[in-house]
Every structure is written in structure tokens, then in C-alpha cells.
Chains A and B, each alone.
Chain A
Amino acid sequence: MIRMKKSLTVGVKFMEKVDSCHSVDSFAVSRSKMFAVRSIRSLQFTFSQLGGTQQCLRSLSGSSNVVKKNDDMPLQMENPYKQPQKGCILCNITVDFKNVQLLSQFVSPHTGRVYGRHITGLCGKKQREIGKAIKKAHSMGFMSVTHKDPHFMKDPNICDIRHLE
């Protein structure tokens, strides 16, 4: 800080000297003036970066060895790169034994067997709900046990399985 102040005063003194030299060539004078102005401008820019002259004065008045801890530490904030939580496909969807079309999507079209978790990709809670609902529908006479209802054969495939045509 102190060094900069000195150079500023030097720049100002230089400007004064340049102004006083009337006998020197006008071109040389203008060039030197420009250099001085540029140097002052760059110094002013650095001063503004530091946060205004008031802060500089404060730090100059106190001991310059102590570094304020608040300026250096990282700011506490929640992760800005946080991705939204991914849920399974049945997140926030109520599973019902009456909804035979939904239940049929998790059942094999050839045998009518319920697919496992590694094929459906559901979370534990929803997989259990689906399994229980399918069993209920079987026993109550809503859903077939050995095959998939032909009306639901054309439904989009949401399970991780490829059927041979």
C-alpha cells in the first residue's frame, strides 16, 4: 500500500515537471504526459479494486501484519451443482389393484410372471406395493395369472427387458 502511494506522488510530481518544461518539444511533452496519465489511471484502477480509499486508509492506520480471517475463508453455501433427486418411475403415483393396466406393465406378456426389481427399476417400497397389488388382483378376479391382458399388449415398455418379436 505504502509503495503504491509513493509511486502516485511520483507520478503527480512527474506531471508537475512536465507542465513546467515549456522549452521542450510539444510532441515529447504530450507523450510523457500520456505516460503519466496512464500510470495514474492504472494506479486508480488498482485502488478501486482494493475497495475504495477508505479501506486502504483503515489498513494503513492499523498494523498491516494481521490478516482478517473473514476475507480468506470460503463462504458457507449449499452445493450449487446439486442435482434434483431422482425417484423411481412410480414416485408419487398411487398403486391400486383396480388399475390393471398399470399392473400389467410390470408383468411378462408371455407367462404373466411379475418382473423382479432388477428389471422394473423400482425402489423397494413401490416394488413391494406393485407385487402385493398384483397378487390381490389375481385373487379377486381382476387380473389374469398366466397371461397378460391382450388389450394391454401394445402398452409402452417401461421395464428394462427386450422381448423377441
Chain B
Amino acid sequence: MPRYELALIVKAMQRPETAALLRRTVETLMERGAVVRGLENLGEKLLPYKISKHNERHTRGGYFLIDFHAAPGIVTGLLDHLERDIDVVRPTVLKNDPEPSNGPCCGPPVASKLQDTV
């Protein structure tokens, strides 16, 4: 199963309400057959720009990252569900597969090999 990352921006709320929101989000994920790997809290910050969502203008928001493994088919359904949640300001699902590290970055161009043979 490919690995995804859900970057969740939630409304600035009190601690018990945020906890409840996270709980129901993770439960939704698990219901759809995703394996939740971990949850990170990036803190409550000022949003980079004012976001209007669910008839509300948001200035501050809580940032969360949920790492999970899931089948590719559930992603659209999940995003649909999160958009309808009034406490969620902006949900984004990204692919998070670890890339194989290539050779030396910014190496010399291949043409340099020709100079040696001359």
C-alpha cells in the first residue's frame, strides 16, 4: 500500500474539541481501511492568509500531520468527507513514498568524460 500524508489545518479551538476532531478523523481513516502510522502536531499558528471556509473567516489555525498507509481508492472519498467537516479549514492528502537517493547531486555534466579521452 502506498504511503500518504494528510496535512490538516483545523479551526483554532480549545484542547478538548481539537482532541475530539482528531479522534473522529483517525477513526474515519481506520474505518476506510487505512493504517495510521503517526500523528504530528505542528502547533497553532497564524495562517499565512485569511481563509474563508464554512461561512467563517479564519485567521488562526492548528496544523496537524497524519502519516498513513492506505489503498489509493479511498483518497477521494476521504477528502470529500473532510471537506464536509465544519471544524476542518483545509485538508490536503499527499503521497509520501521515500525516494531512492540518487548519486551525487549537482555533479559535473557527462560531457566532461569526453575531455579525458582526448
**Number of A residues, CB within 8 Å of B:** 21
Check B106–A123 contact: CB distance below 8 A.
yes
**B18 at the binding interface (Cβ < 8 Å):** no
Q: Which of A85, A139, A141, A149 contacts B107 (CB 8 A)?
A: A85
**Min distance, Cβ A6 to any Cβ of chain B, angstroms:** 49
Alpha-carbon distance A136/B96, docked complex (angstroms): 14
Check B105–A141 contact: CB distance below 8 A.
no
Check B105–A125 contact: CB distance below 8 A.
yes
Across the two chains, which residue of chain B brings its CB closest to A142? B48
Check B42–A144 contact: CB distance below 8 A.
no
Most buried by A among B7, B51, B61, B89: B7
Q: Mark A49-90, 1 if CB is under 8 A from B, else 0.
A: 000000000000000000000000000000000000111101
**A40 at the binding interface (Cβ < 8 Å):** no
Alpha-carbon distance A78/B49, docked complex (angstroms): 56
Alpha-carbon distance A136/B94, docked complex (angstroms): 10
Q: Mark B76-105, 1 if CB is under 8 A from A, else 0.
A: 000000000000011010100000000011
Alpha-carbon distance A144/B49, docked complex (angstroms): 6
**A159 at the binding interface (Cβ < 8 Å):** no
Known: A145-B48, A145-B49. A140 touches B92 (CB 8 A): yes
Query: Given the complex, which residues of A lie within 8 Å of B42, measured CB to CB?
Result: 98
**Min distance, Cβ B51 to any Cβ of chain A, angstroms:** 6
Alpha-carbon distance A127/B90, docked complex (angstroms): 27
Most buried by A among B49, B63, B94: B49
Check A141–B104 contact: CB distance below 8 A.
no
What are some 21 contacts across the A-B interface (CB < 8 A)? A85-B108, A87-B104, A87-B107, A91-B104, A91-B106, A98-B42, A123-B105, A123-B106, A125-B105, A126-B105, A126-B106, A141-B47, A141-B49, A141-B90, A142-B48, A143-B48, A144-B48, A145-B48, A145-B49, A146-B49, A149-B48
List chain A positions with a Cβ less than 8 A from chain B.
85-88, 90-92, 98, 123, 125-126, 136, 139-146, 149
Other A-B pairs beyond A142-B7, A146-B49, A149-B48, 4, CB < 8 Å: A87-B104, A87-B107, A141-B90, A144-B48
